Structure 1
Amino acid sequence: MPQLSARVSTFTDSVIRRMTRINAETPGSINLSQGFPDFPPPTPVLDRLAQVAYEGPHQYATTWGAQNFREALADKYSPTIGRTIDPASEIVVTCGGTEAMMAAVMTVCDPGDKVIVFSPFYENYGADAILSGADPIFVPLDPPDFSFDPVVLEAAFARGVKAIIVCNPSNPTGKVFTRDELEVIARLATEYDAFVITDEVYEHIIYAPNVHVPVASLPGMFDRTITCNSLSKTYSMTGWRLGFLIGPARVIEAARKVHDFLTVGAAAPLQEAAVVGLRLGPDYYEQLRDKYTHKRDLLCGGLERLGFNITWPQGTYFVMIDVADFLALPQFAGTTDLEFCEWVIREIGVAAVPGSSFFHEPVNRFIRLHFARADEVLTESLKRLEKLAALLPAA
């Protein structure tokens, strides 16, 4: 039989989504692996969706996004980026943030081009580079604060890169890049004439005193920045698959062609309903921040009281746990973090993601949990994790 393409042998299926499948096969286990909320989108959006079910639209929207949806995006993001975004030429709507990232990389990279990816990274980024024929260069984010070394970063740029991918706030670490850090990235991208591709899906899930700074808002950066985003996390609608790109017209014109032949267009009725969400006022985003601040404090505070070694997230709804002490126990000798997570599902009843799926380096000491769950689910998770914490000898 003919051989499959070489590229498909260079990456695995999503470990995150694999953990969800394993969790589903384990009766009663709580899924804190794949990060989707267990609460609904805003009520005004659902009310509008009910109307759209009968009124339409039900046929194709404009390939690069319905006009009113793009206008609502332009109105929302013009103030944060600090310039008037043209909905006719500087936005393309995609099927989720996943397609937005894929389209962005394919738009700016030819096979053989180099792309900087911070490690640890959201697992799609490596696959995006490979599927585009690009060559990822990994720059470490050093725990526990997951900062980068500017000298190491510049050495990566000096290898002749076409783009850098920046997830801010960062999945899986929960890091929020400071303005100073982003200015270093912007300076190097300008000096070495590279694009900056940003993933900003967690922009509204951020904890004081941290502040989200869009790279595109920095002086001179709009023309070389492609902002990737989606409605999934901000409006608790991960299954709606509504994402978008914002960038300079010449880039968006090319990205629209890539998008057209990848998926044709995002779902027309969902765009129509989601316009209501994009028009919500500042109170909504304040309430969202307060909700997730409470959930972060509930889960992370509980983990800390149980004795787990955690890095408190500055943004997102993920927490990284250092499980090196557990893996050093005799019963886990030689166990990988993936095998450890499978054991935790079976024996503890809580699903996590093994951290090695996020690192380019051979790191085997972290797991990731998410806290976009109801309070009673998080409380029950902590109760179950007491059994795991009890395995460690008392200090």
Structure 2
Amino acid sequence: MGRPTGPYRTPAPVGTTAEPGLIPDLIARIPWPRWALITVAAAAGVLIVSCLLCVLCRCCHRHRRKKPRDKVAVGLGSARSSITTHLIKVGLKQAVDLRARGPGDTADPYACVSLSTQPGHRYETKAHRGTLNPVFHETCCFRVPPAELPQTTLQVRLLDSRCFSQHEPLGELSLPLGAIDLRHVLELWHQLGPPGTTKAEQTGELCFSLQYVPGSGRLTVVVLEARGLSPGLAEPYVKVQLMLNQRKWKRRKTSARKSTTTPYFNEAFTFLVPFSQIQSVDLVLAVWARGPRLRTEPVGKVVLGTRASGQPLQHWADMLAHARRPVTQWHRLQPPREVDQALALQPRLHLPLPGS
């Protein structure tokens, strides 16, 4: 028999492909053992799957992301919240042409803002020294239920700050909120009326001095006297308490005075507060007395420190600015519950007695 013409081809073994594919051919040419190729392939597969999962998670996060809220500057207006209350924002700009009622032709005015339906919640601005045209530029907020809004009146009182006598009223303003469209920001001038007497003045006042020596860390509080207390109270005394980082730290108290609504104490207390901790301290002075129920209860409180506002903050700043010199000031007593809420005080846990 004759040989076939053309190039000679070796017959393929039984059970194999005549022409191998591209990938098996490449794998056959790599001079690595089989276990190394399997390891590299597994690592590449894990890397690819991880990248795909990251891409999918990022896409889902973009779809679920909420849009950022717009920031709106509000002067006098209202915003409805999720707990069915209106957030009333009051911005105090300035006052002009005030009349000094005391000696001299000047005053140290500050403003007190409150709502008629929330007598225990009020805001005080800082005092401006030696002017009859103060510029405040301060903002305060109140929350009012929708049902109370038509009957709510905004009350603004301007007073002259006095160190050793009662704060002199300069003028008042009453603005019914039900007659105002609070959906828009309003900036209006209003004429102040003649000063009058409100219930806020009947809570009483407390006079005390503060002195701080940074070198030794000695904070001296001298409780001088109180006035304007309710005639139904008996045996008033004053508790002086220091709080550090919103926790009760140190406490002192004066002796009680009997049969008087203008008790005179003149008792001094000294606390050691390092200069590194003076910015973290809150000073609380509380007047306690025995009420009609023959139980001793807090009448009113004053809180001073960096978290205070209005006259207490100004008194604290004057004490730090005039080191080693006593600074004396009269302060109106605030409702105890209002002060406790501002300090974020938690009620003490009373454990039940055994067998009860």
TM-score tier after normalising by the smaller chain length: under 0.3
Compare the two structures and name the one with the higher strand fraction: 2
TM-score (norm 1): 0.21
TM-score (norm 2): 0.22
Larger Rg: 2
RCO comparison, higher one (Cα < 8 Å, 6+): 1
